Structure 1
Amino acid sequence: MSKRRVTYYYDPDVGAFTYGLTHPMKPQRMRATHELLIAYDMLPKMHVLRAKRASAETMTRFHTDEYVQFLSRVTPENAPQLSYSGTRFLVGEDNPAFDGVFEFCSISAGGSLAAAHRLMNGQTDIAINWAGGLHHAKKREASGFCYVNDIVLAILEMLRTVPRVLYIDIDCHHGDGVEEAFYTTNRVMTCSFHKFGEYFPGTGTLDDRGRGKGRGYAVNVPLKDGVTDEAYRSVFEPVIDKILDVFQPSAIVLQCGADSLSGDKLGCLNLTMQGHASCVQYIRKKNIPLMLLGGGGYTVKNVARTWTYETACALGIEDDIDLNMPWNEYFEWFGPRYRLEVPASNMEDMNLRDNSLNRVRETALRYLSELRPAPSVGLQDVPRESVGEHLGVGDAYEQGPLDDLDEKLARESPLPNIHAILPDPRAPGHTRFVYNLQEKAAQPADSDSEYDSDTSLARTRARSGPARHGKKRMSLLTGECFDVPRPPPEGYDLGCGHEPWPQSDIPAQGMKRRFFPSAARWEYALDRHLAERERAGMRNGRVDVGALMMNGGAVERARTAELGEEMDVDAEDD
């Protein structure tokens, strides 16, 4: 097997986080994997790097600014208040607000972003980030133990350089978060092999194929309980071959969720370690830039075994390593066999009943045959920079068409502060000079279908669901569906960093929303509100009668009068 350049990203702090003692998600599995790699002496064979942690601003390339601000502020103590008792951002019991949740997300996302950047620069052939692969996270909420979707962020980084990216998901659960993010584009093809039925997240049927331009670029292979290595390989290889032939990706992202292994606490498939790793071996042989990410996996010792073996597959040394495990820091965890193996169980393969697996494979291949060959990506115009932004002057928050704003700025030149920025004597006329060089702002092309438009409004319409009275979610822990009520509108500014828009000031559709309002503004509004409540005797929803009597309830009465509420406070005068 040919030698490939492999880069491995690891942050020593990742194993220090915990979702909680009883939660099945254990970040310590990344540290156990790292210790096994050390024991097998694989680190000298790779370029080992510690990635720069992703910033909040970087996360907003996919996630909303309100959600990222929430993650940066949430703690176990204030989670009920900021998430409106679990109705916003953190929905259900699957996603606890543990200590350091934002730091954990920044490590995961930072590793995947660094891996994508290194792959696109041609500095490596295979990049590994076992802390990544959190494929359930949505644009504005956590889901399935996932808070920040590092996969989407990494693919978006790749699309800056290459025209097409293929995402393959071999986790036991459907990769709904990644599919949803790219459901309307033909530049990313998502392919998920997963358990389907009364099972989290309840999505990923054969007919979920994308929408608009992305029609046919979402491939789902739903499986039943107990799929074995042979059955899995019989559907994986022909589907991937057809995708590579039709789509011709420039890079591949492979999510190696280990909950599809036999004996996983939350999984229900029956793959061995070798069967799971055969997917890595098969993709590696295609000689396409490859990113390997982690994902699910809740039997920690089997996760560490499998990801160690798959790292060896990336290096091409899987036939040379000893399956008898060498001593390591977690050696006692791997008893009683102390071997690098995950055997299959005797569970029945339900996919062989009624020839269901063959029907799934034939349907998936038929859908791919109907797809147009690899879409080409033409040259894209660089988004135009306004004159004010180019010169570093003007009001950054001023709204309106770029042409009108630039013309206004040019007419008002010379500017009062232009000499401080441009000390050249010709500076007063420089603004008009730059304005004359600018091309007119491009107008969006007309389209017969709203889903064929690249405008943000069309994407919003394409992805918005019909539900207006609540949302339905499924729990990964229990498998039960539950309704999530809409949170009350009042007080929304406390969790999102800005006050609600007055009815008369609601911005028109299509206006650019500014990310990351001033943190000081958010702090001031929150602290002022909490101080008012404390002075009035209201603290964490409880009434301090003594404080109310001392202050006469004046502040709280003014507050409740403003909100149109009533509060009766009985106090006796001495």
Structure 2
Amino acid sequence: MSPTPIVQTYDTWGVSGNATIALDSKTTSSMPVATRIAGRPTKKVSYHHNPLAENHHFGSSHPMKPWRLTLTNQLVLGYGLQDYMDCYATRAATEDELREFHTDDYLEFLQRVTPENADSFAQQMPKFNFGDDCPVFTGIWDFCTLYSGASLDAAKKLLNGQSDIAINWSGGLHHAKKSEASGFCYINDIVLAILQLLRHHPRVLYIDIDVHHGDGVEQAFFSTDRVMTLSFHKYDKDNFFPGTGNWDDIGGGAGKHYSLNVPLRDGIDDENYVSLFKSIVEPVIETYRPASIVLQCGADSLGADRLGCFNLNIRAHGACVEFVKSFGLPLLLVGGGGYTPRNVSRLWCYETSIATDTEVGTELPPQLGDPFREYFAPEYVLHPKLGTDGRYENKNSRKYLETVRQRIMEQLRYLGGAPGVQMQEVPPDLLGCQSELENPLKEDMKA
């Protein structure tokens, strides 16, 4: 079933089923704040979201807050960015679609468990890695199918040429494994979307700029050369989740040297991050020659994030998106981490403007009314100063960063250019052939 295009008002993203939303006569009005940047070729951009995903709650003390999506959408609508892209109220993913990656017993558990009956599943909780990080909450199955359905719909828009860039900020849950939850992630929508892209694209490049290592995606494609994973993240094996993703984590089997990791230390700043990012991404794209790119835009790499430890500002994070976009390949943008909701929404709104080749003002849009405006106090701007208060000392010396870059270049030299791949519907490692490689990984993670 195709997602339904929707026309939005400035003050709501509500839908009823798959009905088309007409503009409310009370809110149709002003010129949008966003303006098209002159001289740039127009990209076809689609925005995929189901507002029901916003209504879920991990728990009052849990750092993951799905209502960050509400703030993001209010900014997008307030700036008028919906006028520059196709907006779709997406459907929920089906169980069969989730089964493309996840196991039957895990999906059955997700469907059946609730806060009310959790005690009866006590023996299964450890098996599927449920606990404080990945709690059982009301509507957990619905939440998983909604954000996954949005990523699947976005991938299909890229495949059929209706979009050059497709956006799903509710997705990007990169830690989920085939048969277990991990790091606030239950279903790995990124893997599911990449599997869709692989039906027609011989090679897909996955780039991750979350502060945490994109371990779930890397594991899924660990032994195939049809997907290259490239993750920029904080690495500390013993003290920072998930404790994986050092420079020598390079894949295995047919996928050896197709897992690239950029382990960073606390406090990296705008200049060093963007420079390192560009110096690695360009040769990776030139060597691997992907047919499409999936970019995970985790906002916890921003300065002042509740769980992050970098000193990045919104413009620097966005510069990475702009750079990837400049290669002109079909591009899927997904969300991910981000635990200071007001900054998460600022970032993803700004990166939506980058995707649509529009400029938005630094001041918050006048269409953004109460109570949403108060979440952005006291600055009331799109670009507050983040990471400039010395909260984290920059422990990334120029010498260390150059060493990291050189190690990536050495891996690329092993490849000798883009692999010639036999087109298959599903890479062989996802059919259970990589157990010999996965089992040692699981043993290491448990240890």
**Where on the TM-score scale, by shorter chain, does this alignment land: which range?**
0.7 to 0.9
| 342, 347, 350: which one aligns with 1:306 | 347
Q: In 1, are the aligned partners of 2:221 and 2:430 still within 8 Å (CA)?
A: no
- In the TM superposition, residue 313 of structure 1 has moved relative to its aligned partner by 0.3
Equivalent in the alignment of 2:121: 82
- Whether 1:15 aligns to 2:54 is yes
2:399: which partner in 1? 355
Q: Distance in 2 between matches of 1:253 and 1:464?
A: 27
* Aligned-partner Cα distance in 2 for 1:455–1:219: 19
Partner of 1:461: 436
Number of positions where the alignment pairs a residue of Structure 1 with one of Structure 2: 401
- The corresponding residue for 2:377 is 335
Q: Aligned AA for 1:84?
A: Q
Native 8 Å contact 1:222 1:360 kept in 2 = yes
SS of structure 1 residue aligned to 2:410: helix
How far off is 1:466 after superposition? Answer: 7.7
Distance 1:463 1:472 in 2: 11
Match of residue 388 from structure 2: 345
The answer to whether 1:263 aligns with 2:304 is yes
Q: Decide whether aligned partners of structure 1 residues 49 and 180 sit closer, same or farther in structure 2, where only a CA change above 3 A counts.
A: same
1:375 aligns with 2:441: no
CA drift of 1:460 comes to 2.2
Question: Are the structure 2 counterparts of residues 277 and 461 from structure 1 closer, same or farther at C-alpha, using a change threshold of 3 Å?
Answer: same
SS class of match (1:464): helix
Alpha-carbon separation, structure 1, partners of 2:399 and 2:429: 42
3-state SS, counterpart of residue 167 of structure 2 = strand
CA change 1:46–1:56 in 2 (3 A) is same
- TM-score normalized with structure 2 length: 0.86
CA contact (8 A) 1:19 1:98 kept: yes
Counterpart of 1:360, as a letter, is V
Q: State the Cα deviation string for residues 74-94 of structure 1 (Å, max 9, x = none).
A: 101222432417312133310
SS at the partner of 1:350? Answer: coil
CA distance in 1, matches of 2:408, 2:422: 29
Moved more, 212-221 or 2-11: 2-11
In 1, Cα distance between equivalents of 2:429 and 2:182: 27
Contact 1:83 1:90 in 2 (8 A): no
The aligned counterpart of 1:104 is 143
Where does residue 187 of structure 2 map in the other structure?
148
- 1:466 and 1:377, CA in 2 relative to 1: closer, same or farther beyond 3 A? closer
Identical aligned pairs, as a percentage? Answer: 45
Could you tell me how far apart the structure 1 residues matched to 2:296 and 2:432 are? 31
Judging changes above 3 Å, is the alpha-carbon distance between structure 1 residues 466 and 137 closer, same or farther for their aligned structure 2 residues?
closer
User: What is the DSSP-based 3-state SS (H/G/I as helix, E as strand, rest coil) of the residue aligned with 2:231?
Assistant: strand
Q: Is the 8 A contact 1:351 1:357 kept in 2?
A: no
Alignment of 1:175-574 (within 5 A): 175-197=214-236, 198-317=239-358, 320-326=359-365, 327-329=368-370, 330-343=372-385, 344-347=387-390, 348-353=392-397, 355-378=399-422, 456=431, 458-465=433-440, 473=446
1:35 and 1:328 in contact (8 A); partners too: no
Please state whether the residue corresponding to 1:458 is helix, strand or coil.
coil
CA–CA separation in structure 2 for the residues paired with 1:181 and 1:83: 27
Q: Following TM superposition, by how much is the alpha carbon of 1:142 offset from its aligned partner in structure 2, in angstroms?
A: 0.3
Change in CA separation of 1:133 and 1:379 when aligned onto 2, cut-off 3 Å: closer
One-letter code of the match for 2:228? M
2:97 corresponds to which residue?
A: 58
Distance 1:339 1:455, change over 3 A: closer
Aligned AA (2:378):
P
Distance 2:187 2:302 in 1: 24
Q: Higher relative CO (CA 8 A, sep ≥ 6), structure 1 or 2? A: 2
- Structure 1 pair 458/45, CA: closer, same or farther in 2 (3 Å)? closer
CA distance in 1, matches of 2:413, 2:295: 23
Residue of structure 1 in register with 2:209 after alignment: 170
Displacement of 1:349 in angstroms is 4.4
Aligned-pair CA distance for 1:144: 0.2
- Is the 2:101–2:430 Cα contact (8 Å) retained in structure 1? no
Does the 8 A contact of 1:126 with 1:292 survive in 2? Answer: yes
Which residue number in structure 2 is paired with residue 24 of structure 1?
Answer: 63
| TM-superposition CA deviations, 1:504-560 (whole Å, max 9, x none) | xxxxxxxxxxxxxxxxxxxxxxxxxxxxxxxxxxxxxxxxxxxxxxxxxxxxxxxxx
Paired residue secondary structure (1:190): strand
Maintained 8 Å contact 2:265/2:395: yes
Instruction: Note the C-alpha offset of 1:457.
Output: 5.4
Contact 1:262 1:342 in 2 (8 A): no
350-359 vs 296-305, which moves further:
350-359
Runs of 4+ in 1 over 6 A off after TM superposition: 452-455
Does structure 2 retain, via aligned residues, the 8 Å contact 1:243–1:368?
yes
Q: 1:452-486 CA deviation, whole Å, 9 max, x = no partner?
A: 98694532223223878xx855xxxxxxxxx7xxx
Contact 2:50 2:91 in 1 (8 A): no
Maintained 8 Å contact 1:172/1:260: yes
- Which residue identity is paired with 2:151? S
Distance 1:456 1:280, change over 3 A: closer
RMSD: 2.0
Give me the whole-angstrom Cα distance separating, in 1, the residues matched to 2:410 and 2:203.
21
Please list every run of 5 or more consecutive structure 2 residues that lacks an aligned counterpart in the other structure: 1-39
Distance 1:289 1:279 in 2: 16
Compute the displacement of 1:188 (Å): 0.1
- How far apart, in 1, do the equivalents of 2:331 and 2:270 lie? 23
**Secondary structure of 2:125's match?**
coil
Local SS of the residue matching 1:86: helix
The equivalent residue for 1:434 is none
Q: Would you say the 8 A contact 1:209–1:216 is kept in 2?
A: yes
